[in-house]
Chains A and B, each alone.
Chain A
Amino acid sequence: MSNKNILEVKDLKVSVKEEEKEILHGVNLSVGEGETHVIMGPNGAGKSTLGSSIMADPRYDITAGSIKFKGEDITGISTDKIAKKGLFISFQNPIEVPGITLFNFIKTAIETKTGEHIRFFDFQKELKKTMEVLNMDPAYAERDLNVGFSGGEKKKAEILQLLMLKPELAILDETDSGLDVDAVRIVSEGIKEYKKSVGGALLIITHSTRLLEALTVDRTHVLVDGKVVAEGSGKLVDEINENGFEKYL
């Protein structure tokens, strides 16, 4: 484990755009390079808002505080630039985009990120291999992005993008929600593969712990009502698993 922080969130306050309603009331959070962090908390605590705000989701306004990625202040820069710096978010509800295939989308995304053309056959080979890890039917590569995918296939497609884009930090927003046991296992395999082959950091947002069973968690943050109310090691996950959030409310 390195001492260098890849992500530093300081006193972050976030409101819903064009509304007075503040959701995050000064959140502090640091993630070291290659570490796996978990954000837990009851529904409505602001977990997803935190993840989305780091990626500059236009639905939210950052009213105070700062976000640093690899030491650089990224507060207020546009989502695409943040992504190009090496941040990734796996969506809770991946969006259906007709007219572009999953294959072409991932290829375009990689080329946009690196600014370099990838050879068709190299890409095809890597994509096929990665889809196998996720137990995805190769036919999905030629289907329009997320269009008509089942909930499980959509989540797998997100992890596929994670593995292909190789970000240095990935935020996984409720990646396990709505998945059956088998799908959780496969997605979890995909995440392990990311740790192994890319070695990037993870910020996993979840309110259950199913996805975490197969992972080594370095740090846990408990978010309640827009504030981090407790922090601890990976063991905190087990404790919450047993006792729930009762004592933090």
Chain B
Amino acid sequence: MREKAKVSDIDRSLYDFRLEEKDAFKVEEGLTEEIVRQISDEKNDPDWMREFRLKSLKIYNETPFPDWGPSIEGLDMDNIVTYVRPKDNKMVADWNEVPTEIKDTFQKLGIPQAERESLAGVGAQFDSELVYHNVKEEVAAQGVIYTDLESALWGDKADMIKDHFMHLVPPTDHKFAALHGAVWSGGSFVYVPPGVSVEIPLQSYFRLNAPGAGQFEHTLIIVDEGAYLHFIEGCSAPKYNVANLHAGCVELFVGKNATLRYSTIENWSKNMYNLNTKRARVDKDGKVEWVSGSFGSHVSYLYPMSVLAGENARTEFTGVTFAGKGQNLDTGTKVVHNAKNTSSYINTRSISKDGGISTFRSSVTVAKDATGSKSAVSCQSLMVDDISRSDTIPAMDIRTDDCDIGHEAKIGRISDDTVFYLMSRGMSEEDARALIVSGFADNVGKELPLEYAVEMNNLIRLEMVGSIG
């Protein structure tokens, strides 16, 4: 008899520790005009923002839930706490001043260490508010702004924010965009001036600690003409038995001849509904590069979108999605070619295991005037066992003959031959399978800075090896 490896639910102790909630300020559960006004007061919004929130709430109430994609029936908005401010919160630029318990949380996640070693700046959000934000002096000296959005609303770039905030993702986009507009809190504002190249990445880390809460951070990044930035976001949360909701919003504005790389390793706990909206607008000769690893959450709807607005604008999307037990991850990407000679390159992998469902959606639109444009979509899926599911749903809307469009999709399983080959060199079946899956996800691994690639491989190992019972 051959021994069969038992692969069960994973040991998430690395991310799964919780901090006892003490004296945090919270609004009531659910969503009413009163709650939105209360959040607005708490946050000291400018008038226009308060109006924006109330208008968004109205849109939210008028917009139906999506009638496609994975079920979100388990998400009862009347039970979600939309705003939780950590006790005694004030945002600081010195780790020593972060409250000890929160500091411990981030230390366990390796955040301050990463900052010392390899980042130009770090933001850390705990529940609804930023607790820490700092940018290295030499980066700030180049005129780079990296701060929380709330204080930026009162700073030098207040008008710039007003001109961009939720212009790319308007509250009318979908129900959760409207929700975001009404209750957003936290997140980051980044501005990179013309011609400035930020050599090492900036990172924001989002931690949702409170049970039954929502996190609605807003990330607004403006990379001006000829500038370069690599921005990394990481997210995690401990697991609770009640649903948590993440409906963040990311808006990226990439100027002429500028490049922005936006990397995400998302590892929400498996009670999380991750209904996140990310969108980039790219001007002439500019480029946005998305690197996206989706590992956590119970249900995800996530389709980062690139609007190629100027001639020769480019986008690359490199993604991996891993759906394990009890997960239904609906991910993909959208591209709109709106100008001549624009190009998009999409390369994704999805993995499903233990009954997990992984769906990849791509949407490519080429406008009538976007002649000479190119798009290549490649999606590969790997099903680790017989009970998991993987779907690929491509959509294309091509309005001109003068373009070059390609799509390829491949669905496969882990081959017994490969497992045997690796085992014949002494690797256990679990290690062999983990190695095959990591290799499959290597498209993303190759694009990440080393320490994040290592973290991603650790996540894959956790998912694949788990506890041996």
Contact = CB atoms under 8 A, between A and B. Distances in A.
Interface of A: 55-59, 76-80, 83-84, 88-89, 91, 94-95, 97-100, 105, 108-109, 112-113, 144, 161, 165
B421 to A, nearest CB: 4
A112 B426 contact: yes
Nearest to A108: B427
Contacts of A100: 435, 438-439
Contacts of B416: 58-59
Contacts of B22: none
B423 A99 contact: no
B441 interface: yes
A58 B4 CA distance: 11
B3 interface: yes
B425 A78 contact: no
11 contacts: A56-B2, A59-B420, A77-B3, A83-B425, A91-B424, A97-B418, A97-B421, A99-B438, A99-B440, A100-B439, A144-B439
Which of the four size classes fits the interface of chain B? 20 to 34
Nearest to A106: B425
Nearest to B423: A79
Contacts, number: 78
Interface of B: 1-3, 415-429, 431-432, 435-436, 438-442, 445
Contacts of B431: 112
A78 B423 contact: yes
B429 to A, nearest CB: 7
A91 B421 contact: yes
A80 B429 contact: yes
B1 A97 contact: no
A55 B426 CA distance: 11
What 4 A-B pairs are tightest by C-beta distance, nearest first? A99-B439, A99-B442, A79-B423, A109-B425
A95 B439 CA distance: 13
Most chain-A CB neighbours within 10 Å: which of B2, B417, B424, B429?
A: B424
B2 A80 contact: no
Contacts of A80: 423-424, 426-429, 432
A79 B439 contact: no
Most chain-A CB neighbours within 10 Å: which of B416, B418, B421, B436?
A: B421
Contacts of A79: 2, 420, 423-424
B426 A84 contact: yes
Contacts of B420: 55, 57-59, 79
B441 A99 contact: yes
Contact of A78 (B415, B429, B436, B441): B429
Contacts of B419: 58
A105 B441 CA distance: 17
Contacts of B2: 56, 58, 76, 78-79
A59 B419 CA distance: 11
A210 to B, nearest CB: 24
A221 to B, nearest CB: 22
Most chain-B CB neighbours within 10 Å: which of A95, A99, A105?
A: A99
Contact of A98 (B423, B426, B432, B440): B440
A83 B423 contact: yes
A48 B425 CA distance: 18
Nearest to B457: A99
Contacts of A57: 420
Nearest to A96: B418
Given A76-B2, A80-B428, A80-B429, A97 B439 contact: yes
B424 A88 contact: yes
A83 B418 contact: no
